[in-house]
Amino acid sequence: MQYDLIVIGGGPGGYVAAIRAAQLGMTTALVEKRDLGGTCLNRGCVPTKTLMHTANVYREAGESEALGLNFGQRSYDFAQMHERKNAVTAQLRDGIAQLLKANKVDIYQAMGQIVDANTVQAGDDTLTAKNILIAAGSVPAMPPITGSDLPGVVTSDAMLEAQGVDCNKLLIIGGGVIGVEMASIYASLGKQVTIVEAAERILPPMDREISQNLSMILKKRGVEIYTSAMVSAISKAENGLTCHFTDKKGEQTADADVVLISVGRRPCTAGLFAEGFAVEMTERGFIAVDDKFVTSVPNIYAVGDVIGRMQLAHAAEAQGIAAVEYMSGMAEASVNYDLVPSCVYTTPEIASVGITADEAKKVGLEVITGKYVMNGNAKTIIEQQDRGFIKVVFDKETEQLIGAQLMCARATDLISELVTAVSLGLTRAQLTRTMRPHPTFCEGITEAVEAAAGHSIHTAPSKR
């Protein structure tokens, strides 16, 4: 079969790129060995958020008496929670299949292996194309920890596929996005949860205050958190497993029914290239690409988790579209990583874009910052939300917005306004003039911007 483009991988980077290529007139094939939608839809973003929604409703029901509501005895059905999760993912998978069919993209349900610069073996089918786009995704990384192969030691795949993993005591190795979201789900269901993180704080790449605030909230919900902790081994215990680690206090142990290892993801490149053919890789094993997503072989491109830049579904989609448009001669611009929003779906939600004040300081950039604590926001009080805040960072010279960090209800929705503001170079004065409805969470943006100017209406002036 002869095509203009063969896409390997049916996740966000792959299927979106395939559809865009077809819209641009390219004959396109998509090769996917598992389910359409990739990790994000089947073993990542969507199932996590579906379970998170259910867990949050359960937790909020337990706090409803303050609202004048009494639901009686709460209970949940773990199997039914996962049945709904499976139904959500199936519905979205069907939608992707219909989109691909409507755009006349041929789908090959098989392992795709690149034989040479123009040939892909998809099961029993040999496909050729002018261009090849690799969007093979990633898989959970497994560090060399003694005992990591014991029954009961799992990755996020096991937690999110099929009927999931039920337990009363969960220990999570890794306090990154996956770790804290899983901790939030299980803690909201009343499970005993422990996080063991090697860095000095959870969510180490994010704003320090976000990490500190989330730690406080999780601990309030019963989660034990150990930081600066290095795991040495996992062993069998009388009633489950024991995790052995060392932190500032010395050697420690923690027992659990299940140990979740969530220390990052590695590129899914096993078997991707036939013997005798490959593209250049980075030291960490990701596929090396230039700013147009071209590999060391000029007509082979790569996007998404497999290149390791920002392992986010929306980043992969943007990369896939950019790569296809570049190969079609439409554009030369690449993805601006300063405009990629990062989101964490804990409660409260976390979202950020651009740079923080600390990052600006490191590069010698003078900034003006504004912060609004959401405790005074009417919608936050109405909905009984936990302590949160909105921070904005402006370039001191131009007064243009260059970054924002949010930790509040609906932060993952609110961030879009600030992404737009950063992309357009909107100034503090322009953002101040924007009228936002009342009562809403987005009023906090107005207050944070006003705070940067030193004249917030709803925040008491700081003592000087």
- Please report the beta strands in 135-229, taking only residues with DSSP state E, as ranges in sequence order: 138-140, 153-154, 169-173, 192-196, 224-226
Q: Say which of 314, 438, 455, 458 is annotated catalytic.
A: 438
Residue 158, SS3 per DSSP: helix
Written as one string, the DSSP assignment of 99-159 is HHHHTT-EEEES-EEEEETTEEEETTEEEEEEEEEE---EEE-----BTTTSTTEE-HHHH
DSSP code for 312: -
DSSP code for 3: E
CA dihedral 216, 449, 311, 48 (to 10 degrees): 50
Helix axes 313-327, 12-23, angle to 10 degrees: 30
3-state helix, strand, coil in the chain (%, to 5): 35, 25, 40
Which tokens is 102 given?
Answer: 């409507």
Work out the widest C-alpha separation in the chain, in whole angstroms: 74
CA 241 to CA 244: how far, in whole Å?
A: 10
CA dihedral 426, 432, 434, 435 (to 10 degrees): 160
Residue 413 makes CB contacts below 8 A (sequence gap 6+) with: none
Chain center to CA of 166: 23
Q: Of all helices (H) and strands (E), which one includes residue 190?
A: none
Which tokens is 136 given?
Answer: 């093979």
Residue 344 makes CB contacts below 8 A (sequence gap 6+) with: 177, 180, 181, 203, 206, 350, 351
- Please report the beta strands in 319-400, taking only residues with DSSP state E, as ranges in sequence order: 342-344, 349-354, 367-373, 389-395
Strand partners, 405: 352, 391
Annotation marks residue 455 as catalytic: no
Q: Of all helices (H) and strands (E), which one includes residue 112?
A: strand 112-116
CA 162 to CA 174: how far, in whole Å?
A: 23
Q: What letters, b where the CB count within 10 A reaches 16 and e where it falls short, cover 265-283?
A: bbbbbeebeeeeeebeeee
> Are the CB atoms for 295 and 321 separated by under 8 Å?
no
Report, as residue numbers or ranges, the catalytic residues.
Answer: 438
